[in-house]
Structure 1
Amino acid sequence: MVNMKKLAGEKACEEIKEGMVVGLGTGSTTFYAIEELGRRVSAGLKIRAVATSKKTEELASERLIPLVSLNEVHEIDLTIDGADEVDSFLNGIKGGGGALFREKMVALHSKRNLWVVDETKLVQELGAFPLPVEVLPFGYRQVEKELVALGFHPRLRNAFNSKEPFITDNGNYIFDLSLKKNKKYRIAGTKTR
């Protein structure tokens, strides 16, 4: 059976050219792009990369991909990242892996963003996957009240196999918003930035 995630990740690397600054997203599909980029760097490709998470940083370092911080670059030429869902209008939900704030920062400072997805991520309508909202621990209950006032039913994400909150690489919490119960995801996207 053909691994579509692997093919998609490898294909995305064809867009990376000599001298580029490349944003590296977080997630299972991006893993394959990082593997392929590591092969290309080993073969002589000269690039610099900005990682969107500690996990991505670790994967890139293991493959000898030269890393720089977002603060060290003027802009990023291309960011390769995955998505949890993408609709036919190219709207997407990202951040299921918990790196959403860093992914957003890197994407905002990129000339071009390429979402690497296979057919399992394509949907008619967003909402099967919850919309993650990263919040500071300080005052997170106040944010929860604001989300409820907007008509959402926020669920504080827990760490894997734990009752403790999931902690992002930035030390923040994540609320997951169900869009099936509330179709106001465009409002949520603008009000929760």
Structure 2
Amino acid sequence: MQEKSPRTQAQRRAATQAALIGVARDLFARHGFAGVGAPEIAQAAGVTRGAITHHFKDKTGLFHAVVTAEAETVGAALAALPPGDMAGAVRHWFAVMEQPGRARILLIDGPAVLGAAEIARIDAATGAAELGDGLAEMLPGMAAPDLAALTEILSAGFDRAALRIAEGAPPAPYITALLGLIEGLRQQVRPGQPG
């Protein structure tokens, strides 16, 4: 019988961080950032409170890691889609955002705890980057500064819609409205192209 090799320090560190992020994500999704304390997170993860400070400095640092992981999950889900299907990407984004607690973490507590500038930085590297790439593909004639502004504006619209849906609004009207806006832009920037 083969003996298991002991885990390295790096593996133990990564496992502890992943456990803390997973437990904290669940607690933040259910109770919000303010409704959860570091001792509660540590207890649920089966570690000491010192593990939070060792790996993340404090509860805010752990929350930053949770937000980053959530944003990366959204970005990766969009990046995995085949290019050229903006309608499919829009529908898929809404489906990904329906994960319980995701809107609260990314769109309510994220900006409140980390600040709008940090959330924008995280989003620019994940979901907004994918939106920008899709818009650039669909609107190749648009100047880079205009494309950046359009991406920011549409991203805000997506976020507002996700919040309303998280509050119980049906997603269909928001999907239709955003697709209509995008199609209208496509027709305006590339007149005469088939729809």
Report if TM-score (shorter chain) is over 0.5: no
Higher strand share: 1
Higher helix share goes to which structure?
A: 2
Per the normalisation by structure 2, the TM-score is 0.31
TM-score, normalised on structure 1? 0.31
